[in-house]
Amino acid sequence: MTTSQVASDATLSLEARYCADTFNGAIASAAISAAWEIGLLDALASTGRVEISTFAKSREAAPAVVRAILVALSSRRIVTLDAARLEATTDIGFESAFSTKGFFYWLTRGCGELFTTLPTMVRNDDRLGEYVRRDARSISVACRNIARTFFDPPFRELIDHIDFGTVADLGCGSADRIVMLAERRPGLRAIGIDVAEGAISVAKEAVGEAGLEDRITLVQDDVLNLTPRAEYEDVDMVTCFLMGHDFWPRESCVKTLRRLRETFPNLRNLVLGDTCRSTGVDGPEHPMFTLGFETVHTVMDHYLPTLDEWESVLDESGWHIADRQLIDLPAFSFIYRLTPA
């Protein structure tokens, strides 16, 4: 039996295929993040094809590494390589990978260290102090893309008929949302609030590029422990996306939601968008993002509420659901427009 026959026979083994797909999927996940960061995904989206040496030269990149990234993507049918491996074209999986690239970036760039050091975070003796490290800047970039693609369209639909003059975005990350709102509503003033220095750094870049420094203020502050400030007094809408689960557990969530009404005395609308803990899902049925999201927060010892738990806490916190949108991806996600009860 020849070497090629052995390899061919191995591909027919279901047991071997499971492990190979798992291993190759991990490599492809990192390749999607790398391809996005170096502009390779955008180049493929623009023309449907990339000549490897030309692209590498334009980015001052190593052609062999660019090729290796594309080979990894080809393992998941995101691209197809020609026989000489000189050119790549988009394949059946490209559109899906391109639209969900933020999830892969969150996983491999934002939380990559957490997963590679996972064995050191199992024993209780190791779970002391700042034992988890994540890349706040990369998480901000990832969440910006996720929000733009999956949360912003229903968010805009939810607030298009609402009048507000000053908005504060809790956990503003890259400031993408308040930049979008300021560009859509001339005269709107906005405040971006985030505790992470890396996120504020990304936000400053975005606000500067948009030329909105005169209308957008950035504040490094702890959303979970906000206190009244002069700049908060005129805020009549607060938005908070992809960090509401940090309000929990329940007693803490109630306090935080109540405190928002004290911190922002003129608040009329609170728009809350988040992803919940899954229910009724097991084994290979986990949808995109859910398993990674829940694993990361379990390691960090952060409680994730279900959708039912979120709804049960609102009345107690002094809020009424005025409108809502459920999100298909990420699964178990929602956007609520809340008004003071």
According to the model, what pLDDT value does residue 137 have?
84
Coil/strand/helix, residue 62: coil
d(CA 103, CA 146): 7
According to the model, what pLDDT value does residue 1 have?
47
pTM of this prediction? 0.87
- Topology of domain 121-340, CATH: Rossmann fold (3.40.50)
d(CA 288, CA 174): 23
The number of C-alpha atoms within 13 Å of 43 and in the hemisphere containing its C-beta is: 21
For CATH 1.10.10.10, the residue range(s) in the chain are 3-99
The residues, ordered by sequence, that sit 6+ positions from 158 with a Cβ below 8 Å of its Cβ are 271, 323, 325, 335, 337
Radius of gyration of the chain (CA): 22
| The residue type at 266 | N
Coil/strand/helix, residue 143: helix
CA 199 to chain centre: 13
According to the model, what pLDDT value does residue 144 have?
86
According to the model, what pLDDT value does residue 196 have?
87
Burial readout 95-121 (b: 16 or more C-beta within 10 A, e: otherwise) = eebbebbbbbbbbbbbbbebeeeeeee
Coil/strand/helix, residue 216: strand
d(CA 175, CA 198): 12
Between CA 64 and CA 299, with CA 141 as vertex, the angle to 5 degrees is 95
d(CA 117, CA 130): 13
Farthest CA pair distance, the chain? 79
Query: Domain 3-99 class?
Result: mainly alpha
Coil/strand/helix, residue 335: strand
On average, the pLDDT of the chain sits at: 93
d(CA 261, CA 268): 9
What is the side-by-side strand order in the sheet with 333-340? 216-220, 189-194, 166-170, 237-241, 269-275, 333-340, 319-327
pLDDT in tens, 72-100: 999 999 999 999 999 999 999 999 999 99
The residues, ordered by sequence, that sit 6+ positions from 153 with a Cβ below 8 Å of its Cβ are none
| The residue type at 87 | E
According to the model, what pLDDT value does residue 12 have?
58
For CATH 3.40.50.150, the residue range(s) in the chain are 121-340
Coil/strand/helix, residue 193: strand
Beta pairing class for 166-170 and 79-81: unpaired
According to the model, what pLDDT value does residue 16 have?
83
67 burial via Cβ count (<10 Å: 0-12, 13-18, 19+): middle
According to the model, what pLDDT value does residue 11 have?
57
C-beta neighbour count of 70 within 10 angstroms: 23
Residues of the chain under the 50 pLDDT cut: 1, 4-6, 8-9
